[in-house]
Amino acid sequence: MGYECIVEGLVAALLGFVFLYNAFVRGFNKTKAAAGAASSSSSSMVSPMENCVRKTGNGEVAGSTDIIIVGAGVAGSALAYTFGKDGRRVHVIERDLSEPDRIVGELLQPGGYLKLIELGLEDCVDDIDAQQVFGYALYKDGKNTRLSYPLEKFHSDVAGRSFHNGRFIQRMRQKAASLPNVTLEQGTVTSLLEENGTIKGVQYKTKGGQELTAYAPLTIVCDGCFSNLRRSLCDPKVEVPSCFVGLVLENCELPHANYGHVILADPSPILFYPISSTEIRCLVDVPGQKVPSVSNGEMAQYLKTVVAPQIPSELHTAFISAIDKGNIRTMPNRSMPAAPHSTPGALLMGDAFNMRHPLTGGGMTVALSDIVVLRDLLRPLYDLYDASTLCKYLESFYTLRKPVASTINTLAGALYKVFSASPDPARKEMRQACFDYLSLGGVFSNGPISLLSGLNPRPISLVLHFFAVAVYGVGRLLLPFPSPKRIWTGARLISGASGIIFPIIKAEGVRQMFFPATVPAYYRAPPVH
């Protein structure tokens, strides 16, 4: 462990040299006022009161609403409960309140479960046949290694959870709706209401088709990956590197019970994890935006001829049976860095705001972590109607969320590229080196798996382990006898590793990711009343 800390220090020093001038330019304006305000918030916060929706004659929704939330998925429901519990009056508008049926959002990492506990929502994984997940089993070329989450320091209940996404969301919605000051309404938000550059509320269409407007000092948009409102609040640069093809396997058991399984297949990874006591989710990654057609049988043929020979023998029969049943689903995998506009009165959250490749199952962990950050930031801020002040603290949110979000985002993008097959010899070596490095156990597996699980949100540790894998790969090439060809491949391996991770880090923001304390908003605290 000492070795890792020393190297982390060296990496930090190297990166710190580049940004050192910021530490001198920006004063470290530590405020004791924040602590005082936070301590007084619990006694001064307004008590929950019922927020009845009353429709006026001109189509406006009357009543005192503190926060409008667009969308009641994982992020929206958790936000509604969190702010409702803090005494805010919340109006949630969701396009469809029936149970969702999705093939992603089914795996919550241990770090996300800890955030669920912090928000008081841990009972939402009860009574939905959720399964505990203790780590991953990694398969490559007939070999496998088991990587366990480092959970020794936590309560026995702390682990990952996998479940049916729709069941989990319905439990979250029920929990939010149980608060008297939270109103859930089915409707479609068509636009944000803007006045002099400030978002004042939303215009929406009810389930019955009535056009209404609703007003609040803060509008939080979390209407998912297909958001039609994000363009007015951020610069969306959505990439679709691949698609997931989803199946449900029945009447079989995973080789390693209560572990997610990642098959390093050709051309890209295959995932297996339990979603109930009798069902296993299979997600086959297909690179690119076009997949074989499901309707004409091309997909079934592709799965049987290309994918089936590469999966563990214990799952083969159930896999073929799932294909023959015909319930094959597809879902584009989206990646989008967080690039928000600073907009008074509005905020983006969840997949509407920030997405990463779902290979590592980090999306819900990022969303729940963001909610904890926002809750703590806004708790002492009583007057949400002060739009300019509120906007300044929302800028702080964008900075304070970075360590956790950027670590999970960067790891997801980097691992997907490393785990995907390539004809390039250097990329092949990097893939093999990653498998062998993780198979070493100890700090070599605990470090990366703690990053993936959200238990160690340290970007510097991520960079350390990523390049340790690359150096390990070069060492394998050069020992026992280096040759010019192997030296050249090793050089290209290091270059390729840099080409994978540095663009992702750049998109996330180097300064915000590694040195958030040099960003002025980092020290901004709510005023004391």
The answer to whether residue 16 sits within a structural domain is no
CATH value at residue 262: 3.30.70
What are the tens digits of pLDDT across the range 271-305? 999 999 999 999 999 999 899 999 999 999 999 99
The answer to whether residue 47 sits within a structural domain is no
Other CB atoms closer than 10 Å to residue 307's CB: what's the count? Answer: 21
Is the sign of the CA dihedral 176, 179, 184, 190 positive or negative?
negative
Cα–Cα distance, 195 to 204 (Å, whole number): 17
- 286 and 242 in contact (C-beta within 8 Å)? yes
Average pLDDT over residues 22-33: 35
Residue 378 and residue 308 share a domain = no
Tell me the CB-side half-sphere exposure of residue 216, using CA atoms within 13 A.
26
What are the tens digits of pLDDT across the range 81-139? 999 999 999 999 999 999 999 999 999 999 999 999 999 999 999 999 999 999 999 99
Residue 230 and residue 98 share a domain = yes
What pLDDT shows up at residue 521? Answer: 62
Full domain range(s) for residue 465: 422-516
> What residue has token string 């819900």?
364
Q: 265, exposed or middle or buried, with CB in 10 Å at 0-12, 13-18, 19+?
A: buried
Residue 189 and residue 252 share a domain = no
The structure tokens listed for 500 are 């994978």
Residue 446 and residue 351 share a domain = no
Among 230, 229, 182, which Cα is nearest to 204's?
Answer: 229
Q: Which of 300, 334, 368 is the last residue of a domain?
A: 334
Among 418, 414, 416, 438, which Cα is nearest to 504's?
Answer: 414
Contacts of residue 7, Cβ cutoff 8 Å, sequence gap at least 6: 464, 468
CATH value at residue 345: 3.50.50.60
Name the CA dihedral angle for 394, 395, 397, 399, rounded to a multiple of 10 degrees. Answer: 180
Residue 350 and residue 256 share a domain = no
Q: DSSP string covering 85-116, please?
A: HTT--EEEEES--SPP--SSS-EE-HHHHHHH
Q: Which of 303, 334, 365 is the last residue of a domain?
A: 334
Which amino acid is it at 140?
K
The order of strands in the sheet holding 107-108 is 107-108, 160-162, 131-133
Q: DSSP string covering 478-498, please?
A: HSS---HHHHHHHHHHHHHHH
Residue 147: what are its φ and ψ, rounded to 5°?
Answer: -115, 110
Mean pLDDT for the chain overall: 86
Is the confidence at residue 314, as pLDDT, over 80?
A: yes
Average pLDDT over residues 191-203: 94
386 vs 5, higher pLDDT: 386
What pLDDT shows up at residue 232? Answer: 86
Q: At 201, is the pLDDT very low, low, confident or very high (cuts 50, 70, 90)? A: very high
- What element of type H or E holds 14? helix 2-18
Residue 446 and residue 434 share a domain = yes
Residue 287 and residue 364 share a domain = no
Q: At 45, is the pLDDT very low, low, confident or very high (cuts 50, 70, 90)? A: very low
The answer to whether residue 380 sits within a structural domain is yes
What pLDDT shows up at residue 35? Answer: 34
Q: Which of 289, 310, 334 is the last residue of a domain?
A: 334
What pLDDT shows up at residue 61? Answer: 53
Residue 247 and residue 222 share a domain = no
The answer to whether residue 50 sits within a structural domain is no
Is the confidence at residue 26, as pLDDT, over 60?
A: no
Residue 323 and residue 261 share a domain = yes
Other CB atoms closer than 10 Å to residue 420's CB: what's the count? Answer: 20
What pLDDT shows up at residue 387? Answer: 78
Residue 168 and residue 100 share a domain = yes
The answer to whether residue 110 sits within a structural domain is yes
Domains in the chain: how many in total?
Answer: 3
What pLDDT shows up at residue 33? Answer: 34
Cα–Cα distance, 351 to 191 (Å, whole number): 18
Distances (CA, A) of 376 to 250, 348, 362, 372: 43, 17, 22, 6
Cα–Cα distance, 302 to 288 (Å, whole number): 15
The answer to whether residue 450 sits within a structural domain is yes
What are the tens digits of pLDDT across the range 474-526? 998 998 888 999 999 999 999 999 999 999 898 888 888 888 777 766 555 55
What are the tens digits of pLDDT across the range 249-266? 998 999 999 999 999 999
The answer to whether residue 146 sits within a structural domain is no
Reported residue count of the chain is 529
What pLDDT shows up at residue 523? Answer: 52
The answer to whether residue 525 sits within a structural domain is no
Residue 207 and residue 176 share a domain = yes
What pLDDT shows up at residue 507? Answer: 86
Residue 348 and residue 305 share a domain = no
- 317 and 278 in contact (C-beta within 8 Å)? no
